Amino acid sequence: MYQELNEEDTAKKKWNQAFIPKAILLFPPIAFALTFLKINTDKSILDLLGFLAMGGLLASGGVLLNIFYPKVSNEEIYPYK
């Protein structure tokens, strides 16, 4: 019985210790969403999600191009040096 309570107390302590980093990670997206909706009063949550999805697609497309585009050496670009 005591061991179960001790394990539960340890889990709560670990969660509370990690609360500040969690808050730091969650604050910017929440602040962005609130200011987006405050400034653009005619927009809905779906517009916000579409805006974020488009940004995510553009960023992931850039990352994928960087990964899959073959690396070109300087000799191939400037063969006559």
| Each residue's pLDDT tens digit, 58-76 | 999 988 888 777 665 555 5
Q: What pLDDT is recorded for position 76?
A: 59
Q: What pLDDT is recorded for position 58?
A: 94
Whether the per-residue pLDDT at 79 is higher than 70: the answer is no
Sign, Cα dihedral of 39, 43, 46, 52? negative
- Higher confidence at residue 24 or residue 7? 24
Give the percent of the chain with pLDDT over 90.
11
Contacts of 47 (CB under 8 A, 6+ apart): 40
pTM of full prediction above 0.95: no
